[in-house]
């Protein structure tokens, strides 16, 4: 059993930042605090789709601390130390949480990788970071990760250890890390990370090209959790449902780090299945979750079909794209839960959130207002602030901002005043709430007129035949661009372009905004976090028109 000691400051490896929203503490210090204050409180419950209906593990904070200490001791014995980079490509399993926390204890930098990545992406990412340890599942969803990971080693000279969860050899997670030769490493017994040092490399979703490794420290990540908790009304009594991947910032920051920082209970689901998710939420008394719109619609559709309502659920936070009003209405009607809109990104973390008390009013038309310490601006191409209601470039700055892109000093990040150009288009309302209105590269200009893409997409989404919709532009010799709607239909439904036009006419939209092509598809191209890859649809539309 590892020793638990009272919190103490972590020695600084550099200049102490003068920022009132930086707590100058590490994630490990919050784990220790929760263990000291509430050793017998449930910290982590994990479910696996391949292990039946019962949780595979249920850990108190003292038990979680003990596992973290054992893995930290093993990592140190393997030669992993301060500044080394370790990669983890696991689903939402308890081993992910323990490994990430243990890495921080020995001063290593964590690089979470989404399970969907294969040789092409991993060769680039592991090569760029020169990861020393790579943790993978033996198998997940029918894919052999162990063979893939070991096959990559010859091309990655820095990679010293491939660790396999559920493995059967000496490199298995249980043998090498949980029962390694290094013993337990208690809190404070090694040189951990200083709060302002690099702690996390998270690759961007890749909606427009090659992924970039956004760098964060404990201070930026902890600033996220305080801003989130204060705006959303979360505290240590929360039961957080981690259904979004831990390999993405939503799962990593807003679920895993959030729960540790508050000393709350985290419940993990590894494979998204709506019926199973609802059963877990009911059983564990889940009070809060954050996920993309598709997760939410799956839940209320399943409840509407007869599944039990998760009575303890108090808040559902949605990000990644503006929420169609129909989704907010259905969630309130079927679940009795306010849907809280928000905006954030890997680089700037959480920028804006709607207050839960105003969710029904503001979430259908905005993506929230700035959280504590964060500032947003809407500017034109010359950097001049735009008036209320006028769409322009969304700029952001504040204590959650990333430290830059790993090994990419050539990529501009912030200007001389600390403003980061998000690449999003947005406008402000009279109260300072923002509304994302597309991406800079997604804007459609038809005959000199900007098409309000998000608003038209929301109207299409509300059509009774439509399950999902996205609008992109394609070149036109006379007007410059025209628009094409890509639509997924609900089972058994039909839809024509004339139907779309009739629907938009009923909602009194300008004819210039109507899509001029309709393509029915079975699946949207998406990033790993559910965002629609519009650059793929633009290329497809261009080819379709040319053909």
> Could you tell me if residue 532 is inside a domain?
yes
* Per-residue pLDDT reduced to its tens digit, 182-218: 999 999 988 889 999 999 999 985 444 567 999 999 9
Give residue 351's pLDDT.
96
List Cβ<8 Å contacts ≥24 apart for 444-447.
Answer: 444/471, 444/472, 444/473, 444/481, 444/483, 445/473, 445/480, 445/481, 446/473, 446/476, 446/479, 446/480, 446/481, 446/482, 446/483, 446/512, 447/478, 447/479, 447/480, 447/512
The token duo for 240 is 């957080």
- The CA-based angle 316-318-320, given to 5 degrees, is 165
Smallest CA-to-CA distance from 518 within 465, 447, 478, 445 is with 465
> Could you tell me if residue 515 is inside a domain?
yes
The token duo for 215 is 């760098």
Domain count, the chain: 1
Question: Model-level pTM?
Answer: 0.83
Distant-in-sequence, close-in-space partners of 392: CB < 8 Å, separation ≥ 6: 378, 379, 380, 386, 425, 426, 427
**Residue 101 near residue 112 (C-beta atoms within 8 A):** no
Distant-in-sequence, close-in-space partners of 217: CB < 8 Å, separation ≥ 6: 193, 195, 196, 197, 198, 199, 200, 403
Residues of the chain with pLDDT under 70: 1-18, 205-210, 441, 448-449, 528-530
Find the domain containing 483 and state its range: 444-546
> Could you tell me if residue 533 is inside a domain?
yes
> Could you tell me if residue 138 is inside a domain?
no
> Could you tell me if residue 184 is inside a domain?
no
Give residue 452's pLDDT.
76
**C-alpha 228 chain-centroid distance:** 14
Dihedrals φ, ψ of 404, to 5°? 125, 180
**C-alpha 315 chain-centroid distance:** 17
Biggest CA-to-CA distance, the chain: 74
> Could you tell me if residue 416 is inside a domain?
no
* Per-residue pLDDT reduced to its tens digit, 56-108: 999 999 999 999 999 999 999 999 999 999 999 999 999 999 999 999 999 99
> Could you tell me if residue 67 is inside a domain?
no
CATH number at residue 472: 3.30.300.30
Report d(CA 385, CA 369) in Å as an integer: 17
Report d(CA 96, CA 113) in Å as an integer: 11
Give residue 529's pLDDT.
61
> Could you tell me if residue 211 is inside a domain?
no
The token duo for 504 is 């938009």
Report d(CA 212, CA 406) in Å as an integer: 7
């Amino acid at each position: 059993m590892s020793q638990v000691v009272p919190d103490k400051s972590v020695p600084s490896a550099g200049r102490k930042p003068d920022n009132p929203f930086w707590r100058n503490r590490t994630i490990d210090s919050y784990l220790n605090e929760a263990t000291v204050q509430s050793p017998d409180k449930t910290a982590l419950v994990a479910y696996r789709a391949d292990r039946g209906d019962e949780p595979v593990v249920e850990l108190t904070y003292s038990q979680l601390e003990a596992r973290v200490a054992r893995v930290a001791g093993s990592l140190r014995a393997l030669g992993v130390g301060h500044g080394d980079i370790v990669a983890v490509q696991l689903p939402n399993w308890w081993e992910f949480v323990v490994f990430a926390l243990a890495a921080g204890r020995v001063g290593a930098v964590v690089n979470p990788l989404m399970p969907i990545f294969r040789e092409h992406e991993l060769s680039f990412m592991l090569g760029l970071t020169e990861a020393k340890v790579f943790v993978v599942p033996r198998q997940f969803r029918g894919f052999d990760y162990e063979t893939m990971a070991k096959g990559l080693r010859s091309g990655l000279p820095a990679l010293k250890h491939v660790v396999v969860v559920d493995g059967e050899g000496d490199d298995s997670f249980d043998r090498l890390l949980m029962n390694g030769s290094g013993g337990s490493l208690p809190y404070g017994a090694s040189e951990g990370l200083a709060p302002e040092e690099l702690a996390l490399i998270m690759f961007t979703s890749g909606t427009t090209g090659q992924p970039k490794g956004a760098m964060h420290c404990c201070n930026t990540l902890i600033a996220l959790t305080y801003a989130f908790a204060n705006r959303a009304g979360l505290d240590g009594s929360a039961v957080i449902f981690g259904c979004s991947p831990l390999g993405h910032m939503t799962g990593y920051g807003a679920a895993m780090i959030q729960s540790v920082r508050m000393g709350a209970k985290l419940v993990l689901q590894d494979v998204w299945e709506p019926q199973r998710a609802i059963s877990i939420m009911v059983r564990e008394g889940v009070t809060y979750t954050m996920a993309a719109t598709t997760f939410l619609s799956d839940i209320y559709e399943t409840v509407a079909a007869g599944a039990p309502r998760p009575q303890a659920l108090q808040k559902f936070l949605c990000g990644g794209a503006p929420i169609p009003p129909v989704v907010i209405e259905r969630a309130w009607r079927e679940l009795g839960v306010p849907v809280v809109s928000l905006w954030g990104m890997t680089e700037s973390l959480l920028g804006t959130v709607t207050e839960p008390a105003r969710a029904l009013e503001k979430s259908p038309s905005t993506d929230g207002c700035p959280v504590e310490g964060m500032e947003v601006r809407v500017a034109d191409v010359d950097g001049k602030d735009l008036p209320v209601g006028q769409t322009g470039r969304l700029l952001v700055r504040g204590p959650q901002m990333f430290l830059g892109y790993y090994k990419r000093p050539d990529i501009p990040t912030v200007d001389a005043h600390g403003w980061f150009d998000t690449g999003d288009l947005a406008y402000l309302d009279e109260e300072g709430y923002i509304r994302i209105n597309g991406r800079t590269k997604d804007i459609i200009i038809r005959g000199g007129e900007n098409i309000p893409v998000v608003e038209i997409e929301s109207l299409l989404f509300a059509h009774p035949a439509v399950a999902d919709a996205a609008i992109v532009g394609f070149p036109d010799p006379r007007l410059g661009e025209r628009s094409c709607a890509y639509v997924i239909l609900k089972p058994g439904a039909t839809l024509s372009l004339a139907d779309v036009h009739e629907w938009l006419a009923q909602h009194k939209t300008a004819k210039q905004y109507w899509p001029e092509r309709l393509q029915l598809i079975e699946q949207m191209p998406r990033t790993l976090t559910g965002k629609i890859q519009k650059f793929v649809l633009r290329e497809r539309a261009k080819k379709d028109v040319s053909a």
